[in-house]
Chains A and B, each alone.
Chain A
Amino acid sequence: MTDETPTGRDTSGRFVKRAATAVSAMSRTSDEGIHPMSKVLFGWTERKNIGAILFWVFAVLSVLLVLADLAVDRHEKIGFANSVGFYGLWGFLSFAFVVLMGWPLGRLLRRDEDYYGDAGGPPADVDPDLVDTRPGAASGKPEGDA
């Protein structure tokens, strides 16, 4: 598309063209459906040992935050909230309780998708390309929306 632009431009024109090409490249999803910005923004999540890294980062962060209680003078209206690590402990336990309750509750309350007899499908205003089943119909076309 950008190749159609005439080449004999002054410097500012070329700069605009180059910038436009760069922006266009960064916003165009590849044929494999990978957006170029995904590498820039979230490439770090693809590291092999990211789980362990995150675990240790948050473990250390948690310890540091709790230890910070010793240094920071707190003035809580509710007495026991002043104790060291109260908020951290409450946050950790609340979160773990909610998640672990997911096991029995899921077993108790989950039913088949058509339990009410109307499982339904996606709403009418999803991407029209989704309905089009031709191969490659969902890619390559420039965004004409808005």
Chain B
Amino acid sequence: MPAFLTDLNPGWLLILAGLAAIFIKIRSVRQVITIITPVVAILLLATTQHGVDHLTYNALGIELSFYRVDSLNFIFGLAFLIASLLNAIYALHTDNRLQDGMALAYAGAAVSATFAGDLMTLFIFWEITAISSVFLILQAGTRAAYFASMRYLAVQILSGVLLLDGIAYVWHYNGSLSLEAFTSLDQPGALIIFIAFGIKAAFPFLHNWLQDSYPKSSVVGAVILSAFTTKLAVYAFARFFPGFNELIWIGAVMTIFPVFFAVIENDLRRVLAYSLNNQVGFMICAIGVGVAGVGNPLALNGAAAHAFVHIIYKALLFMSIGAVLYRTGTAKASELGGLYRSMPWTAVFCIIGGLSISAFPFFSGFIAKSLTMSAVAAEGAANPAMIVVWLMLLFASAGVLEHSGIKIPYFAFFGHDSGKRVKEAPFNMLLAMGMAAFLCIAVGLPALVPGLGYQWLYGLLPYPIEAAAYQPFTLDHILTQMQLLILAVFAFILLKRLMLYPAEKPGVILDTDWLYRKVGYGAFRWVDTVWSKIGPATAAIATRLASRAYDNMVATFSPRGMLSRNVFSGGMTLWTAVILGLVLLVSYLTS
């Protein structure tokens, strides 16, 4: 392949194709572009030399490196490109130029940011992901989506501004914007960048932009959104903050709290958004294991593998619920049920996604999560605090099974029959789901042929030697995982039989967005109302006081005033006042 092509950041190709697609009115041409571009990009990436700055540019004395592939970012970029291809197929039934174009541009920006060779380039594409993705929410065309998209944009831009701020510190103190990992949060700029990444990774209390916006976006948009932003943040953490022990606890909390929201949430796309949060928690936790600035090879492999498989099975789950929404017009559990009769293939794919995310052996989640769990358990042997983390992750694993493995397929396709009889999903949706389901199984299988199955994925991980030494399919490992999952399923069946499983009810579930959507907005409205009343009132009081003072002065000093009743004394008083005033002025000016 010609050098100029292998030097081209595949993300740029996607961005350019995306921008072009916006102006292509012929649907078939646009469709060919949206599918061919990710395929070409994958080929470009596969043939690129690792560890080299392919495209550099010097701007204002800053050396920018636009394309640098190494063992850490390769797997993230590859996952993004595969997701982009799946999204394009999933969107084939639509005819929406802006959505097609922005989907490609968004994916391209995420890929470009992943392969950025310096912090400033990362920032540029970090911002482009924010701006391009907001269109996918807006495409839903509803009022709720419009407001959600504005909140989304505000949060994303805030993350970008913080990142730029942190970069300015780093540049000022280090004079370099290289991709070197931090070793402490006390380093200049480290904490600000940490928070900037944390917003995009949807850390606890910074998370709600995700559950607010993704479920309100278009059918196709939600699938696209699920893949990129949070996983780009995961990559950024793995790059800059490996082994930061703060991440262990943040990640562990992240795995747990969404589980409780997901169990009571009625909107299945919102359940998936919480589930996304929970999964990113596993990755963040894994990144935090080990020595600050270095990390732990096994755990970092776990984070990268988890990101890869997660992008695919989460897309698959969003696709299946998207297909249900497409056909029935709703994604609410209380309005769904019994859809296996009409959409059996979608149900099968959804179940495969559910089995994968729940980490059943022989599905992709198992081989990824095992790496993290083993790394955390190994740390736990030396550090009792890590035993707590390990138990938290194990708890969250049962939680994932609850909301993504059981709740999503059960309430959409089985359970109470909603009486909805619709057509099966369009063929292109089924094809995209089928491909994702294939990957979920293919990557999760034991390597019957050496190099295939899970070994294919392990070979792409940041530390392939450590990955090759790890054996996920041991008898005790499969047994313990099956014990955890099967007894959890049994708990579901038991609770269902005892009528202890809460019924799905319509309603919104309050989350931290309540703080700014109700309390913050309410406070703002209150200040506004108070000001609108106090403002004129204060002005009226001031006017009245001023006019009264004026009247008094007129009544006293005017030619017809009190002091002028006697002409002589009136004139003298006025002149005295003038002279006194002048004395005051002169003394003030000369002092």
Contact = CB atoms under 8 A, between A and B. Distances in A.
Interface in B169-212: none
A111 interface: yes
Interface residues of B, number: 96
A35 B341 contact: yes
Contact of A105 (B264, B329, B488, B495): B264
Given A88-B484, A105-B264, A113-B506, A55 B493 contact: yes
Contacts of A118: 143-144, 147
Contacts of B495: 96, 99-100
Contacts of B402: 95, 98-99
A102 interface: yes
B483 A91 contact: yes
A125 B94 contact: yes
Contacts of B500: 99-100
B57 interface: no
Interface residues of A, number: 73
A19 interface: no
B142 interface: yes
A94 B395 contact: yes
B69 interface: no
A58 B95 CA distance: 46
Interface stretch (B5-13, B43-51, B423-431, B577-585): B423-431
B219 interface: yes
Contacts of B479: 65, 68-69, 72, 74
Interface in A50-109: 51, 54-55, 58-59, 61-62, 65-66, 68-69, 72-78, 81, 85, 87-92, 94-96, 98-103, 105-106, 109
A109 B511 CA distance: 8
B245 interface: no
Contacts of B506: 113
B218 A124 contact: yes
Nearest to B380: A78
Given A91-B398, A118-B144, A33 B93 contact: no
A109 B381 contact: no
Interface in A118-140: 118-127, 129-130, 138-139
A87 B141 CA distance: 47
A125 B139 contact: yes
A118 B326 CA distance: 21
12 contacts: A33-B420, A34-B342, A37-B345, A90-B395, A95-B488, A99-B501, A106-B505, A110-B264, A116-B518, A122-B142, A145-B428, A146-B426
Interface of B: 92-94, 96, 99, 139-145, 147, 216-221, 259-261, 263-264, 325-330, 340-345, 347-348, 374, 377-378, 380-381, 387, 390-391, 394-395, 397-399, 401-402, 414, 420-424, 426-428, 431, 475-476, 479-497, 500-502, 505-511, 517-518
Given A45-B414, A62-B490, A102-B502, 18 more contacts: A29-B422, A33-B422, A41-B347, A58-B489, A58-B490, A72-B479, A81-B480, A90-B395, A98-B259, A98-B398, A99-B491, A112-B508, A120-B216, A123-B139, A123-B142, A124-B218, A130-B327, A130-B328
Interface of A: 27, 29, 32-35, 37-38, 40-42, 45, 51, 54-55, 58-59, 61-62, 65-66, 68-69, 72-78, 81, 85, 87-92, 94-96, 98-103, 105-106, 109-113, 115-116, 118-127, 129-130, 138-139, 143, 145-146
